[in-house]
Chains A and B, each alone.
Chain A
Amino acid sequence: MRTLRLLGVGCLVHGKMRFASPTVAALEMIWPLFFATIAFFLFRAGGGAEALVYASLGAAVMGVWSATSTASGNALQRERWHGTLELLAAAPVHFALILLPMTITLAALGIYGMVATLLWGRFLFGVDLPLEHPLAFAVALPLTIVSVGTAGFLLAVAFVRHRAGWALGNMLEYPVWLIAGFLVPLTLLPDWVRPISWALAPTWGMSAIREAASGGTPWPDIVVCAGIGAVYTAIGIVLVERMLRAAREKAALAPA
């Protein structure tokens, strides 16, 4: 109960900070629509209605990933610069309970991004989602958001130890768009990239969403996505205390 309460209050605090500035909040609202617009124009030029459905779903998850990968590193760096990272590290709780609300909040913003992208596609570009398996779609969508959150959590764990971790988060933003199949099918990628794709939980989430929409077999993808997400979380929980110890050894909690 206490843990849930701590996670809840943590999410509330990080959410309030995220939306403290009306300008930033407005940009957060508009930002996913840029991705969607670019993807729709690209795919409309190159294909038919099916391609637009592909773009619509891909753009929805792209926004979630971008928000999580870049913002989790930046959030940790901001904590470091504001001196709050040391205070958080000095608190008598498992550090995973401090990091999780940050990434959960960021990934939750993705719910808005997904819905906005799908509506944008529907009303501006006339993209009708087929939704052949509504139940699987309803499961795959939040699961994908959670799986992106767990990947963000794993990145945040590394950022605790490494001051320049935020740069890694920024760097990973665009490659994952491709490797996880948000923009192009995995079959178009070179063979050596595939094992990397398979290790990414969002790859399976993306595939599950598309399978559910088009009437394929989404459930195996859903199971693998949930499994890899759980593995990310477990690795993160185990690693976070080690990273924290390394940060205490290297004096990496304070700004340089």
Chain B
Amino acid sequence: MAVIEAENLRRTYRTTTGTFRRRALEVEAVRGVSFDVAEGELFGLLGPNGAGKTTTIKMLITLLIPNSGTARVLGTTSSRRGEVRRLIGYIFGGDRGVYERISALDNLRYFAELYAVDPREQRKRIAYLLELVGLTGREKERVEGFSRGMKQRLHIARGLLHDPPVMFLDEPTLGLDPVGARELRGLVAELVRAGKTVLLTTHYMFEADALCDRIAVIAKGKIVAEGTPAALKATIADATVVEIEAFGVSDDALERLRAIPGVSSVSVEDREQAQVIAVQSSTGLELTHTLLGALGDAQIGRVSSREPTLEDAYVSLVTAAEQGAEGAEAEPEPAAVA
């Protein structure tokens, strides 16, 4: 039986713009998202900012009412929200979500009461969780003095207070330093080893690759691909990636790169003064000279060619989805790659 079920979930946000002449705006954040997560599975929802990951999670945990579609946890629909809430733990990333002006212990005591943890068990449970997240000895300090990593670990402890079988983790490593993020990923892996079913959203490819049993890539509110990390990588197995380090590349030059026949996607990452441009194309095409020519007056540094990674697969899928959404009314069907 699927532990988490999303069935054609849709959600539109209505907002207004303007001060004196107010205009209604509608943003379709989630457009028919469906997926299942099996018991004990760590399922990743991977997508860029604004893709609809958090909205999807919030519908599953009953914080948002879907416009249409069904969300179920352990067979219980989100309309029976009291029951769903007892079954789930919800953790999100960033600085928010903790009471900073009181101690970690007071935070945990309050949420233990809210989740009806037996008063006789609370002390033991809180001590166990503080140990699990490495905050033993710091529990009486005010949270405002905690590092971001410590706050995030406190979040995890809070989410586990009532020992829920299902965990929803919404970008839990957001803003953490590399060491903190690695520790947190270790903690997430431990949750799965303990038998929890986990739905994780992230936009870090390596995180999804390292942790998830299966991944769904979401872009523009739709699932564009779903499968194991290996299967997603295999979707671009016949592709080559040329990485060009350049300085002063204009938007026009990037558009010229995208227009070259055989180029499937172009992504740019800023590294200090340099821009690292990753160009995906079909294997067998020798495009390096054409690519460098299209960059015009830009200064060129190192140029290399490599095998595609999960990140390249992700960029390719998201780029295709975004181009599809811009170019046509017809929306792309999700690629089943499991």
Contact = CB atoms under 8 A, between A and B. Distances in A.
A92 B109 contact: no
Interface string A65-86: 0000000000000000111101
B142 A20 contact: yes
A9 B86 contact: no
A21 B101 CA distance: 8
Chain B interface mostly helix, strand, loop or mixed? mixed
Nearest to B89: A90
A248 to B, nearest CB: 5
Given A21-B101, A82-B96, A82-B100, A13 B116 contact: no
A173 B62 CA distance: 35
Interface string A18-42: 0011000000000000000000000
A86 B63 contact: yes
Contact of B63 (A2, A9, A20, A253): A253
Contacts of B119: 5
Contact of A92 (B86, B97, B158): B86
A17 B102 contact: yes
B85 interface: yes
Interface in B69-112: 82-83, 85-86, 90, 92, 94, 96-102, 106, 109-111
Nearest to A80: B96
A89 interface: yes
B114 interface: yes
Contacts of B110: 9-10, 13
Contacts of A91: 85, 111, 114-115
Chain A interface mostly helix, strand, loop or mixed? helix
A84 B102 contact: no
B86 A87 contact: no
Given A17-B99, A87-B90, A245-B65, A92 B106 contact: no
Interface residues of A, number: 30
Given A9-B113, A83-B97, A84-B97, A90 B102 contact: no
A26 to B, nearest CB: 16
A248 B92 CA distance: 18
B82 to A, nearest CB: 5
Nearest to A6: B113
Given A5-B119, A6-B113, A10-B110, A89 B102 contact: no
Contact of A90 (B85, B96, B98, B106): B85
A249 B96 contact: no
A84 B115 contact: no
15 contacts: A6-B113, A12-B106, A16-B101, A17-B99, A17-B101, A20-B102, A84-B98, A87-B90, A87-B97, A88-B114, A90-B63, A91-B111, A91-B114, A92-B114, A248-B62
Interface of B: 13-14, 58, 61-65, 82-83, 85-86, 90, 92, 94, 96-102, 106, 109-111, 113-116, 119, 142, 158
**Top 7 closest A-B pairs, CB basis?**
A83-B96, A20-B101, A91-B114, A92-B85, A83-B97, A9-B113, A13-B110
